Amino acid sequence: MPRPIIIDTDPGIDDALAIMLAAASPEVEILGIVAVAGNVGIERTAPNAAALADLLGLECPVGRGAAAPLWREATYAPQVHGENGFGGYELPVSNRTLEPGVPLLARLIEESAEPVTVVAIGPLTNIAMLMVEHPKTARRIERIVIMGGGALRDQGNATPTAEFNIFVDPDAAAKVFAFGVPITMVGLNATHQALVGAQHLPDLMASGGPAARMVAHLLGSYSDDANAETAETGMAQHDSLALAAVLDPAIITTEHLFVDVENTGRRTTGMTVIDYLGRWGAPNCDVAFGVDVERFRALLNTRLTELDARLVAGAGA
Ligand code: RIB
Ligand code: CA
């Protein structure tokens, strides 16, 4: 029985790989994709999500979520993802009608016969708004798997202490971490181990279909400034590691810890603050520390190659 998931996303180069991986994997059923402003503005992330859904032949609804953080000015990362969010790669414009994002989140969770896993790979504004506007519905969420935050000496990329998704809307992140739904946090301390280049996806690169062509372009155009790796090691695939952890939990190793989000610190706003001493409250989060990188790379290569073959054959994902 596939696990029902909703992907909340700011596509986004690494978001695109994560959505492709989800579409390619029988372990999950994508109930919906909801866009949020982040890597680029909502006027890009929402159409990008719709265009990806078209490319992958997904029948699930796509939502247009928050255009800005709860209370702060928006922060974008075009220097990493390009002005269009896909490093300049152009997909055909979708004709889908997008639903309002937060009501779509609520509807999908309420209609699902099985508890839903939310995979949040962008700023957490939509998720926080769901918790504020539909608290009973939000409590039905089985788990929120977040690409965000950091730990140990790998805390930040937006600032030295804050990871981008959390930094963009720390107030939303603080609400989400405090809400009480189980969380898995896949932060930079894990994702910076998950380096992927074209050389790690040989079967996909040889496949040559629409997914392969897009991934080849994305991997070549992704300049994550905080972790500028050489071509030999590839680039940190933040979002697809978080998604992979849903498909195959053994890809990461976690510790159950109390995590809060700083939203007032002069130098630490956006920091995921981890209590390793167990003094601030019951653990609320499974924090990823270890990554089986070869297992992750093999999953990506295998699943995206299978996906590409289906797209070449004219079938959906
Ligand atoms: O810090 C990396 C995260 O920020 C990823 O989700 C990337 O897509 C950006 O949203
Ligand atoms: Ca993202």
Distance 12 CA to ligand 1 centre (A): 8
**Catalytic pick among 81, 134, 200, 238:** 238
Please tell me whether residue 28 adopts helix, strand or coil conformation.
strand
DSSP secondary structure letters along 181-214: S-EEEE-HHHHTT-EE-GGG-HHHHHH-SHHHHH
pTM score, whole prediction: 0.97
Average pLDDT over residues 65-81: 93
Q: Between 3.90.245.10, 3.30.365.10, 2.60.40.1180, 3.20.20.60, what CATH number should domain 3-316 receive?
A: 3.90.245.10
- Can you tell me the distance from the alpha carbon of 297 to that of 198, in angstroms, rounded to the nearest whole number? 10
Q: Mean pLDDT throughout 96-104?
A: 98
Q: Which ligand minimizes its atom distance to the CA of 235?
A: 1
User: Domain residues of the chain, as ranges?
Assistant: 3-316
Residues 144-153 pLDDT 10s:
999 999 999 9
Residue 228 pLDDT more than 60?
A: no
Segment 92-105 shows an average pLDDT of 98
* Mutation choice for ligand 1 from 42, 165, 193, 227, CB with most ligand atoms inside 8 A: 165
165 lines ligand 1 (CB under 6 A): yes
Degrees to nearest 5, angle at CA 19 with 250 and 129: 95
- At 289 the three-state DSSP class reads strand
* Residue 317, H or E segment: none
Q: Report pLDDT digits (tens) over 278-288.
A: 999 999 999 99
**Cβ-based neighbour number of residue 186 at 10 Å:** 30
Q: Which atom of ligand 1 is nearest to the CA of 38?
A: 10
β-pair type (143-147, 183-186) = parallel
State whether the beta carbon of 191 lies less than 6 angstroms from ligand 1.
no
Ligand 1: residue whose CA is nearest its atom 10: 122
